[in-house]
Structure 1
Amino acid sequence: MIDFVEMLGFRFMQRAFLAGICVAVVAPLVGTFLVHREMALVGETLAHTAFAGVAIGLFVGSVFAVPVSPELAALVVAVLAALVIEWIADRTDAYGDVSMAIVLTGGFALGSVLISLEGGISVGIRQYLFGSLATVTEENVRHLVVLTLLVVGTVAVTYKQLTYATFDETAARVGGIDVTLYNRVLVVLTAGVVVAAMQIMGIILVAAMLVVPVAAASQVARSFRQSLVLSVVAAEIAVVVGVTVSYGYGTAAGGTIVLAAIAVYVAAVLAGECGSRVAGER
């Protein structure tokens, strides 16, 4: 039996919960727009390019003895990758998923090459690949809180434009909305969310929090706005359950949170089916 009072008495668990709660707010907020635009692969792409950024930061620090924050390097590389995705899609005849595939494979390849050149950094990069509750620092939490306020504020201010561009891009352009600008805002926010969440979730699993809670919400939501709210609720449930189970049984935090999110998705599917049957019987 997990002792919640004892668990919350540890500072690292307090930090882990606060960090997880922040991730559970920002990831679904951004992910809802991505999923409805059929751009779910963006999160996975930026996670892999963030891996390259972490490798660059560790490589520069190891080879040239220059102190470079892996998180800052990951953020810079992920933001650049997000802009490159938009550039390829706008300037070439490649479909969106093609541009994302190019950036995804290129980012992961670059990270792999840097690790092979300086094998010593493979130990340091492991925590970013799989995430860890114990490595979440107060600085990480502060950054996540700031990011949460930034993402929530940006979505609130640009909600109408982002929604319009999401459901009818052509009409949005005709209506005078700078769709390219708002697309860039969205992918840059996604890059920030991916980098901020990788400390607790791990690069490999962080993209799941952009998609799975949104998929769960879509099973029961009746409107786009309701989907936004319910996706955050689903993500919060997954984080609380996942972090608690991870502490109690010593499992990987990121993987446990994602499994909890999938369980929430399955429950939402069943609830949606039950609701449809009841409505049909009436």
Structure 2
Amino acid sequence: MIDIAEMLSYRFMRLALIAGLCVGLVAPLVGSFLVHRGMALIGDTLAHSAFAGVAVGLFLGSLDVVVSPYLTALVVSVLAALAIQALAEHTDAYGDVSMAIVLSGGFALGSVLISLSDGGISVGIDQYLFGSLATVTSENVTVMVALSALVIGVVGVTRRQLFAVTFDETAARVSGIPVRRYNRLLVVLTALVVVAAMQIMGVILVAAMLVVPVAAASHVARSFRQSLVIGVLIGEIAVIVGITLSYAYGLAAGGAIVLVAIGVFTLVAVVAR
């Protein structure tokens, strides 16, 4: 039997749980808008861009330029998000084509930087790829809480406009809503969520928390608001159960969280059917 009291007696587990709860909240929150817009792949795209950003930070560190890989990941992810929108707005590369271009470009940049360091940064990049409970610090949690609060605040203020743009861009444009501005805002919020969740989930699995809880919620929700609330609830359940299993059995935290979320999705889909 898992001793919850013992688990919470460790400071790193308390920090990891706080960080995970932030992920379980903001990822489905933003993911609800993405999934209902058919933009589920953008999470993977920005995760690969975050990988490139981490590689930039570690490469600069190998040159004795001290900079946090999380900061460089945030900058590169936001730039990648804006690049996706720019490609969609000003070229013929619409939808998943622009995402595929940025995704492959991000991964290519990261791999090139690793090769330039003769593989020297490849060891340090593992924790960013797969996430780690043990490496979560109070500074990481502070940044994650701040980013989560920013995302929640922005979504709260702009929820009506984001809802309108999500479900009917034409009607939103006719009503005077600057659609391009809110499209850019949504992808930037996604970049913030990806970087915030990277510590726990790793860049490989972070996109799953944007999609799976929302996909599960869509089977039982009767409205967008219900879908959003249920998605967040499923996200939090997946985080709590996944982190607990990770502690008890020595599992990779990100993998455990995603498998729990997929398990909930499967159960909800079967019951709903």
TM-score w.r.t. the length of structure 1 is 0.95
CA displacement at 1:153 relative to structure 2: 1.1
- Output one character per residue of 1:4-52: Cα deviation in whole Å (capped at 9) or x when no partner: 1000000000001100000000000000000000000110000001000
Contact 1:20–1:200 under 8 Å retained in 2: yes
Q: How does 1:142-181 map to 2 (within 5 A)?
A: 142-181=142-181
Rounded to whole Å, the distance in 1 between the matches of 2:150 and 2:57 is: 25
Stretch moving more, 115-124 or 76-85: 115-124
By how many angstroms is 1:206 displaced? 0.2
Counterpart of 1:213, as a letter, is P
Show structure 1 runs of 5+ residues with no match.
Answer: 274-282
Is structure 2 residue 16 aligned with structure 1 residue 16? yes
In structure 2, what residue type is equivalent to 1:228? Answer: L
Q: Structure 1, residues 193-250: CA drift from partner, whole Å, max 9, x if none?
A: 1011111100000000000000010010000011000000000000011000000000
Aligned-pair distance for 1:268? 1.2
Distance 1:112 1:171 in 2: 43
Q: Does 1:123 align with 2:123?
A: yes
Q: Distance in 2 between matches of 1:73 and 1:146?
A: 17
Moved over 2 A (4+): none
Aligned to 1:200: 200
Match status 1:218 vs 2:218: yes
The answer for the alignment partner of 2:184 in structure 1 is 184
Structure 2 partner of 1:279: none
For the pair shown, the structure with the greater C-alpha radius of gyration is 1
Alpha-carbon distance, 1:272 to partner: 1.2
Deviations 1:137-171 (A, max 9, x none): 11111111111211111111111100000000011
Q: Say what the alpha-carbon RMSD is for the aligned residues.
A: 0.6
**CA distance in 2 between partners of 1:41 and 1:186 (Å):** 14
Q: Following the alignment from structure 1 to structure 2, what is the Cα–Cα distance between the partners of residues 198 and 148?
A: 13
Paired residue type of 1:171: A
Q: Which residue of 1 aligns with 2:268?
A: 268
Contact 1:28 1:228 in 2 (8 A): yes
CA–CA distance in 1 between the matches of 2:254 and 2:114? 23
Percent identity between matched residues is: 71
TM-score, normalising length: structure 2:
0.99
Does residue 57 of the first structure (1) align with residue 57 of the second (2)? yes
1:78 equivalent in alignment to 2:94: no
Q: Structure 2: which 5+ residue stretches go unaligned?
A: none
Aligned residues of 2:169 and 2:179 also touching (Cα < 8 A): yes
Is the partner of 2:123 in helix, strand or coil?
A: helix
Confirm or deny: 8 A CA contact 1:220 1:271 kept in the other structure: no
Task: Report the Cα distance in structure 2 between the residues aligned to 1:126 and 1:101, rounded to whole angstroms.
Answer: 23
- Looking at structure 2, the residues matched to 148 and 99 of structure 1 have their Cα atoms a distance apart, in angstroms, of 27
In structure 1, give the amino acid aligned to 2:69.
P
Structure 1 contact 209–235 (Cα < 8 Å) conserved: yes
Is the Cα contact below 8 Å between 1:46 and 1:194 reproduced in 2? yes
What are the equivalent positions in structure 2 for 1:85-104 lying under 5 Å apart? 85-104=84-103
- Are 1:50 and 1:77, in contact at CA under 8 Å, matched by a contact in 2? yes
Deviation at 1:254, TM superposition (A): 0.3
